[in-house]
Structure formats: structure tokens, C-alpha cells
Chain A
Amino acid sequence: MNSRVELAVLGAGPAGVAAALAASECNVSVLILDRSASAGGQVYRRPTWPLEDQQLKQWPDEVKGERLREQLRSSAVSCRFGRAVWSVERGFRIDTVGPEGLETWEAERLLVASGTTERVIPFPGWTLPGVMGLAAATALLKSQRVLPGQRPVVAGSGPLLWAVASGIVAGGGMPAAVIDLADTRRWVSSLPALLSRPTDLLKGLGWMHSVRRKQVPVISSAAVRKVWREGTSLVVEVIERNRDGTLRRESQERRLSADALCIGHGLLPATEVTRLLGADHVFDAQAGGWKPVIDDQQRTSIPGLFAAGDCTGITGAEAAQLEGRLAGLAVAHETGRITDKMYQMKTQSLRRHTLRVSRAGASMAALMMPAESFIDDIPGDTVVCRCEDVTCAEVQAALAAGATGLNQIKSWTRCGMGPCQGRVCGDTVAAIASRHLGGRTAVGTWSPRVPLVPLPMNDLVGAFTYHDIAIPKAAPL
């Protein structure tokens, strides 16, 4: 058991690091845990091959990430990386598995800054090797500097789509096509919000420009209908959609040959820990799905439990950092390290700024949201739960047989019961069920289960051998 700290932070992305730094500056003892080897989260992931100074201008995120890691290094925050959290109890006790095996940590307060997982809506062939998420492609490009393919199809919705496509172009690849689910009208409708963040807007336009300049074919208002393998290539079938998201029946399908398919349909808040601890959650489609209810000090409904960043609703990295700082200061205030007056002074303008930035971020997130009707087009024989190979038809059958919520579907079909714990299929299955059960609130969420990540039995039992097992003498007859 490690010594008890005043604040433990789960997740070293922009929200977690900002919170840790803010609390630590006020002399709160802080521990930060993350499953990656270094701080930065997904957005500021530390690159394996750092860029030379002159190249950095093109990659502002890399500069931000370096600054974040430098601040953390020179702070009093105690950092433990490479640790995956597999259990959290109120009070708070945190169990991790990592390079030192199993470890237990204790903290008076807990901040969850667990970020997001990516939503990929299933289609036939999405389980094939060579098909990966847009977030995965981003990680490859940003931190490993590897192209997901030389001529991949890049498909889906939201800013990541263009970030990936332009990253591939910059890396010397040539996307076979960019398939954008949104049409121009949807992008234009989010302009007012984007205009309040000119740097983000310019960044996005820059991505689009670099892709179009290379004459990469761009198909708007379209979706991948299916993908299959022919020899060493993937064949991607694309179909156009109407404004409301329904398939345009009369449209000709197009077939594209590619060596990979990068596809994603937005981000979902990662709420495993806050749900495991029993905090109140609410469904908010615009924010990406279920999110913990938090007050203006980033406090959840559980005393001592805070949450910040994208795990409280998708608003992007910049908002996450501000929310994190608010949470860190709130902890400093609660622990009496800063006076009421000091706290008011430090947070007053910060809170206004946060609100403004998160509003712009939220409108970008809304742009990533696929239309609900998308779900109705998943063919019956398509696998929706990758871990357990459960098809859409099997989920529909469970619903037709009277399943009343997500957990009943799980018990009946094994959907969501595999090693990913329903992180990949949860949103899809809930959306399917929502059509039968009248809304996502009625459908509910998976019951979170410990271990939160798969735990190898070897790690759990350590160096025990058969001879270590104490066998009591048999009781006399």
C-alpha cells in the first residue's frame, strides 16, 4: 500500500495534468496515474521521434504536449505511468496493474479525467484487419509517425476525419478518398460557434486545403456501406446519404480499392470509473452520450469525486485543460489550501472562459454525431460486438423477445461481455435498443464491472506456486 495522498488524478491528458498542476501549486499532495508511458493523453501523445525545432511549427499540438510534460516534470506532482486502473472504490482506493505488477493507491479525493473512446458504427467488414479507428490513425501519425496505409480510405465524421486525411498527405501517402458523412450545410451550420475559435477554424481549413490541393477525391454526404478483402487490397463500397442520414436509394454505389480504411463517427465520454463509483449520470446526445452530472466546481454527486475534460462530455482539449484547472482549484479550496476569497479570484474569469471554449468545442462534437437513422441500416448479419461476435440480428432478436435494457441484452446474448467490456459496442447496442425501448435513458448503460481492464491471472496471483497453497488437514470423520 502506498501512502495516502490528498488528490489522485486518473488520466494524464490535458484535463488531468491541468488539475494536478493547479492543486499541486496550492500545496495539495497529488498523485497522477495513466496507462500510457508518459503524460499528454491522446491529443498530446508523446511522439516516439521528437521533431527538430524547425519542423515544430507545423505541429502545434506537439509543442503544447512538450510544455505540458515539462510543467509536470518540474512540479511536485507524483507521476506513475504505465498503470492501468482496474478497480476503484469509494474512500478512495485505486488498484492498478503495471510495470511493478499490482499496486494499490489511496486518496482522500479523486479526479477522473479519463477522456474518451471512439465511436465506430458497425458495417459489414469492419472487423477485418486493416480497418481501424480515426483515433487509432491519429495516434499512428502523431506519435509513431507511421502511415496507416499508403492509399487508405478515410471515412466518417468530424474534425478527426480531416486531421487524419491531411496527416496522411503530409506523411507522403495518398488517401484513396475522403468519405465525409456530413454535407457542406452541416459544416456551415457550425460556423458561428467555430468563428469564436479562429485558431481551430484555421487549423480545420488548413487540413481540408492540404487534402484538396493533392486532389484527393472527397465524397460528401456519403458513408461506407461495406468493405471486403480482395487479394491484398480492401474494397470499400460507398453510398450517398440523404440529409436526414437515410440511404439514398437511387444513388450509385462506388467501389474504391485501398490498403486500409480509417473510420470513426465521433467520440464518447469514458465513464467507466464514475459509473463504477455510482455517481449520477445523464444522457446527452450532443455531448457524445452518457456523462456524469457535475456542478460548476467539477464535483460529481459523490463527495470527494471530481471529473473533468472529455469524460464529462466532449468539448475538446482546450476546454478540458480549463476544466481541469477549475477542478484542481476546487480541490485546493475544499482542502483549505486557498481561502474563499482567493478561490473566487482565481476562478471567476477562468469559469467564464471555460464556458466559452467548451461551447465551441461542444458544437464541433455535435458535428461528429451521426444521424440516428444510421443505426437502422446495419445489416442483420453484421457483427456489432467484436469481442463476442454478436450480430445485430441477435441483438434485435433479444429485443423482440422482450429484453428491457442493455444489461438484459448482455445476459442473453453475451454482447458487451468480452474483454473490451462493451466499450466498443455499447453505444451502438444502446442506440439499437433505444429504437425499441423509447429512448436512451430507458435503455440505460452496462453495469460497470471490476476488473475494468482485463487482468492476466499471472499478475493477480503473482509468484505463487502450487506449493504455496495452504491445504488444511482433513477434518476427522
Chain B
Amino acid sequence: MHRGRVDEDAVVIEVDGHAVSARRGDSVAVALLTAGISTLRHSPRLRAPRGIFCFMGSCQECLVVINGKRRLACEVLIESGMSVRTTELP
């Protein structure tokens, strides 16, 4: 697939304390998907794993904490040094 020039846009972000390589221009959801991180949260009642579902800001399943704020991973674009915390319940 045509994804532009890889080297120029490569950045490193931090996901749950681990360094993950990502690309500027991608959404956080895409970065997580390509890094193989599919479980982003657990449902409140059954504690079942959840991940990206609608990709257009409607289902709210990809809610994560980005730089300390609750955001939808599908709506936020990658920036260098970004910190992402998947919102697993204790």
C-alpha cells in the first residue's frame, strides 16, 4: 500500500511504558493496530476486552489516555514523544 516516505515520518511514542514506533500523520488507532496492540480497554460490567470498532468517533470503544487526557484513538494524530495509556480497569 502507498504510505508515502517512511523515514521522514517515523517517530517513537510511548504506550503503557513501552517505546513503540509510529508514523506522523497516522491516527493513534492506526499506530496501535500496526504495532499489534488490539486490546485498548475492558468493558465496565463484564470486563471483556475491547478494541477499535467503528473508526469514526461514534462507538467510543477506542478510548485511551493520550498525554493525560481521555481521547478517542481514532481521532488523534500521532506526534513525536506522545504518551498513550490504554484504559484498562484495575
**Which residues of A are at the interface with B, using a C-beta cutoff of 8 A?**
35, 37, 42, 48-49, 51-52, 55, 84, 117-118, 127-133, 135-137, 139-140, 144-147, 171-172, 383, 386-389, 418-420, 423-424, 453-454, 456, 458
A420 to B59 CA separation, bound complex (whole angstroms): 5
A179 to B23 CA separation, bound complex (whole angstroms): 33
B52/A48 in contact, CB under 8 A? no
Closest-by-CB residue of A relative to B39 is A129
A135/B4 in contact, CB under 8 A? no
A426 to B59 CA separation, bound complex (whole angstroms): 12
**Which residues of B are at the interface with A, using a C-beta cutoff of 8 A?**
1-4, 25-27, 30, 33-34, 38-40, 43-46, 48-61, 63, 69-70, 75, 77
Q: What are 5 A-B contacts with C-beta separation under 8 Å?
A: A118-B54, A129-B51, A132-B54, A133-B53, A139-B55
B60/A129 in contact, CB under 8 A? no
CB distance from B48 to the nearest CB of A (A): 6
B60/A146 in contact, CB under 8 A? no
A386/B43 in contact, CB under 8 A? yes
A419/B60 in contact, CB under 8 A? yes
Contact of A424 among B33, B49, B57, B58 (CB under 8 A): B58
A127-B43, A129-B38, A144-B30 given as contacts; is B55 within 8 A of A136 (CB)?
A: yes
Residues of A within 8 A of B44 (CB): 387-389
A145 to B58 CA separation, bound complex (whole angstroms): 21
CB distance from B34 to the nearest CB of A (A): 6
Contact of A420 among B26, B60, B77 (CB under 8 A): B60
- Give 10 nearest A-B pairs by CB, closest first: A129-B51, A136-B55, A389-B45, A129-B38, A49-B4, A419-B60, A145-B1, A48-B25, A171-B1, A389-B46
A52 to B2 CA separation, bound complex (whole angstroms): 9
Contact of A458 among B49, B69, B77 (CB under 8 A): B69
CB distance from B78 to the nearest CB of A (A): 10
Contact of B40 among A52, A129, A171, A388 (CB under 8 A): A129
Residues of B within 8 A of A145 (CB): 1-3
A130 to B37 CA separation, bound complex (whole angstroms): 10
Residues of B within 8 A of A51 (CB): 2
Residues of B within 8 A of A55 (CB): 2
Closest-by-CB residue of B relative to A387 is B60
CB distance from B17 to the nearest CB of A (A): 20
Contact of A135 among B39, B51, B56 (CB under 8 A): B56
CB distance from A10 to the nearest CB of B (A): 14
B56/A132 in contact, CB under 8 A? no
B55/A140 in contact, CB under 8 A? yes
A383 to B48 CA separation, bound complex (whole angstroms): 11
Residues of A within 8 A of B56 (CB): 42, 135-136, 139
A129-B51, A389-B46, A420-B60 given as contacts; is B4 within 8 A of A140 (CB)?
A: no
A189 to B70 CA separation, bound complex (whole angstroms): 47
A388 to B46 CA separation, bound complex (whole angstroms): 9
A171 to B34 CA separation, bound complex (whole angstroms): 14
Residues of B within 8 A of A144 (CB): 26-27, 30
Known: A49-B25, A456-B70. 9 other contacts (CB 8 A): A129-B40, A130-B38, A132-B52, A132-B54, A133-B54, A135-B54, A136-B54, A389-B46, A420-B60
Closest-by-CB residue of B relative to A48 is B25
Residues of A within 8 A of B27 (CB): 144
Residues of B within 8 A of A172 (CB): 1
Contact of B1 among A52, A147, A386, A453 (CB under 8 A): A147
Residues of A within 8 A of B51 (CB): 128-130, 132
Contact of A388 among B1, B2, B45, B69 (CB under 8 A): B45
A456 to B66 CA separation, bound complex (whole angstroms): 13
A86 to B46 CA separation, bound complex (whole angstroms): 29
Contact of A386 among B26, B30, B59 (CB under 8 A): B59
CB distance from A226 to the nearest CB of B (A): 14
A42 to B50 CA separation, bound complex (whole angstroms): 23
Residues of A within 8 A of B39 (CB): 129
B40/A132 in contact, CB under 8 A? no
B34/A424 in contact, CB under 8 A? no
Residues of B within 8 A of A420 (CB): 58-60
A131/B53 in contact, CB under 8 A? yes
A57 to B43 CA separation, bound complex (whole angstroms): 43
A389 to B45 CA separation, bound complex (whole angstroms): 6
A146/B55 in contact, CB under 8 A? no
A128/B49 in contact, CB under 8 A? yes
Residues of A within 8 A of B55 (CB): 132-133, 135-137, 139-140
A37-B77, A388-B45, A458-B69 given as contacts; is B50 within 8 A of A127 (CB)?
A: yes
B30/A129 in contact, CB under 8 A? no
Residues of A within 8 A of B2 (CB): 49, 51-52, 55, 145
CB distance from A264 to the nearest CB of B (A): 10
CB distance from A13 to the nearest CB of B (A): 11
